[in-house]
Structure 1
Amino acid sequence: MAVHLYQSDLPDGLNLGPVVAIDTETMGLDPRRDRLCLVQLSSGDGNAHLVQIARGQTNAPNLERLLTDPAVLKLFHFGRFDIAAMKQAFGVTTAPVWCTKIASKLIRTYTDRHGLKYLLNDLVGVDISKQQQTSDWGSAVLSDAQKDYAASDVLYLHKLKAELESRLIREDRLDLAERLFAFLPTRAELDLLGWDQTADIYQH
């Protein structure tokens, strides 16, 4: 495994293939308030690419091009948050997308454990540490532990997608899942506009 760290944007000419796993680290859990600090990506080849985002930075041309490329599927776990965080930072809508958390909730209705750590352990046989999850991601210098943690959130998403997708197909729920994935960018935009969990636009 190799972890590549970049400042402000992906390097020119980097091709991560047709399906790219993406995750983000921020200063907190409200994308309207808490700035984007790090975007991590993987093509599923065992390598991770981390992009540090500076305070006040409003564009990252190469990254934005990937996020909006209709030929590249962006793979997330709880994409709703990451899509909102990147739209808040750069003003772009990420699409098309696939979310392992939504897939898990659709197909693993026998459990309420849909966190990435549980899914990777149960379906992929990988145990990841979440110890650095609440560390200071705004630091100018990331520790090795932070970089390893950030990488672990994207390195195994391709394998997890394959496991979940096979179950969605088996239970005839893949079409429903894909329609939910297509709605995710809109759901993220609603979050940024204030229609969050306590103001669900679908409620009576």
Structure 2
Amino acid sequence: MWPLSERFGAIVGSTLFTHAGVTIRLHRNDLPDGLDLGRVVAIDTETMGLNPHRDRLCLVQLSSGDGTAHLVQLIPENLGGQGYGAPNLKRMLADPAVTKLFHFARFDVAVLYRYLGVTTAPVVCTKVAAKLVRTFTDRHGLKDLCKELLGVDLSKQQQTSDWGAPELTPEQLAYAASDVLHLHALWAKLEGLLKREGRLDIAEGCFRFLPTRGKLDLLGYEDPDILSH
């Protein structure tokens, strides 16, 4: 493997590398001023684990669907970073004119609220969409959907790596980028299926509820589920 400095160039500013038509830009602490990612932004998060009360938010990935991924690394102050201020990122997440596109939004909106203190809305979730129209299968993971609907084979090798490391590896950055680069195309496929099956309205109702569902999870209402009998 090439040394990081040779493969990506020095980690200064935000531009790291271009590979196979994909540009990855790493931003420390916040999005840069004036960055416009359009009206529909694909978003994902990387954390230290799956318990948002215990496992801190480390990285937020974003893409406008143009083949570029913006990665915002958030480092707590006690580890030498600037914490979770990130005003530009927060402004975009809360902007009602920007639709935020996720896969499994329930977790992401909860962890973003927990660490950034912002309600992320409006949202679209490709996992919810897939479960509404792909009832012939239980394979609703991002890797499965990208393979079956887009012909894209995603690697999940870095999924359980250490996202709290102060310097992320090239493999981690590439993995993180891949989780947002295909969401626009995936949503286009799933939206078409929702319209075909007459379930777009119910999907949109689910999407509107997801920020509240995330807050319920943070309050401990994942189990018991207050909507059950």
Q: Fold-level match, TM-score > 0.5?
A: yes
Greater CA deviation, 168-177 or 50-59?
50-59
- Tell whether 2:78 aligns with 1:53: no
Q: Secondary structure at the match of 2:112?
A: helix
Indicate the percent of aligned positions where both proteins have the same amino acid.
66
Cα separation, 1, equivalents of 2:31 and 2:115: 15
Match of 2:208 in 1: 182
Q: Identify the structure with bigger relative contact order (alpha carbons < 8 Å, sequence gap 6+).
A: 1
Structure of larger gyration radius? 2
1:33: how far off?
1.2
Q: Is the counterpart of residue 99 in structure 1 residue 125 in structure 2?
A: yes
1:39 aligns with 2:60: yes
CA contact (8 A) 1:59 1:89 kept: no
> 113, 123, 137: which one pairs with 2:163?
137
Q: C-alpha displacement at 1:75, in angstroms?
A: 0.1
Could you list the per-position Cα deviations for residues 167-196 of structure 1 after superposition, in whole angstroms to 9, with x for gaps in the alignment?
000000000000000000000000111111
Q: Whole-Å Cα distance in 1 between the matches of residues 26 and 84 of structure 2?
A: 19
Q: Match of 1:199, SS? A: coil
Match of 2:224 in 1: 199
Code of the aligned partner of 1:112: D
Q: Does the 8 Å contact 1:35/1:55 carry over to 2?
A: no
Partner of 2:46: 25
Code of the residue aligned with 1:17 in structure 2: it is: G
Q: Which runs of 5+ in 1 are unaligned?
A: none
For residue 90 of structure 1, report the CA deviation from its aligned partner: 1.0
Secondary structure of 1:13 counterpart:
coil
How far apart are the structure 1 equivalents of 2:113 and 2:95? 15
TM-score, structure 2 length as denominator?
A: 0.88
Structure-1 separation of matches of 2:111 and 2:74: 12
Tell me the residue number matched to 1:152: 178
Match of 2:4 in 1: none
How much does 1:58 deviate? 2.9
1:121 is matched with which residue: 136, 147, 151?
A: 147
Per-residue deviation, 1:59: 1.8
Whether the 8 Å contact between 2:29 and 2:84 is mirrored in structure 1 is no
1:5 partnered with 2:30: no
Detail structure 1 runs of 4+ shifted over 6 Å in the superposition: none
